[in-house]
Amino acid sequence: MTAPLTSVTGQPNLATAVVPLRDGRTGKTRLAEHLPARERGRLVATLARHVVATLLAADGVRRVLVVTADPVFVTDALEADPRLEILTQPSAHPGLNGAVEFGREQVRRRWPGDRLLVIHADLPALSTADVAALLAPAAPVTLGPDRAGLGTNAVLLRPGTDAFTFAFGEGSLARHRHEAESLGSPAALVRRDGTAIDLDTEADFGALAPPVQEWLRAGIAVPDDGQRLRALP
């Protein structure tokens, strides 16, 4: 039996967002041909700032928890906000799915009535309208597929779905849909550019609208980077 989707006031339950974020040193290696390690670190920080700021600005999101194994990097990368909490990922919860599971444990222990929105930190086109679209379905499980329709960039769970097993990684959308069906209801799918286009490859960058490409370039540029950044597709 799942918990009611609405609170006793009749209003939809608010969501706590969990954003897993590794660090600024080991991410975005598939862009190494275009950006050396220092610039990739700034890219990770720029993307994370955008995703977290968008979530905090979105109606229906109560707070944001960033789970990371590198809290010093993340604290430096993000703007302080009373609704933002940075959690150190424990060694007992390794990897991406471990980080997400640790975030869920925190939400269910501290705010059991909240919906849980898990969303990746590398969505450069994410908007508050995209977040609203994820929060809109009444299904117990809502999924935001990647642009290939194979991976998952966002998962929204309502209370009562604790048996759902996170399975991020290659081909995760099919696994997450199976998990939803195992709970007794098909997942709702929300397909929007803002949730579909993550940034891992040259092709991902090319799929972004020119204004998004430009603010990304600006976010990772320093005065001596201009020539190198023009090499991005």
Distance CA(77)–CA(29), nearest Å, equals: 19
Which of helix, strand or coil describes residue 25?
coil
- Flag whether 149 is marked binding: no
Q: Is 169 annotated as a binding residue?
A: yes
Q: Are strands 152-157 and 141-145 parallel, antiparallel or unpaired?
A: antiparallel
Tokens of 51: 């995703």
Burial environment of residue 141 by CB neighbours within 10 A (0 to 12, 13 to 18, 19 or more): buried
Kindly report the length of the chain: 233
* Residue whose entry in the numeric block shows the structure tokens 């499980």: 141
Q: Is 172 annotated as a binding residue?
A: yes
- Alpha-carbon distance of 98 to 21, in angstroms, equals 12
Q: Is 167 helix (H, G, I), strand (E, B) or coil?
A: coil
CA distances from 204 to 6, 28, 34, 123 (A): 37, 12, 13, 10
Contacts of 226 (CB under 8 A, 6+ apart): none
User: Which amino acid is located at 72 in the chain?
Assistant: V
Distances (CA, A) of 73 to 69, 86, 229: 9, 11, 23
Residues making up the annotated binding site are: 152, 169, 172
Residues making up the annotated binding site for phosphoenolpyruvate are: 152, 169, 172
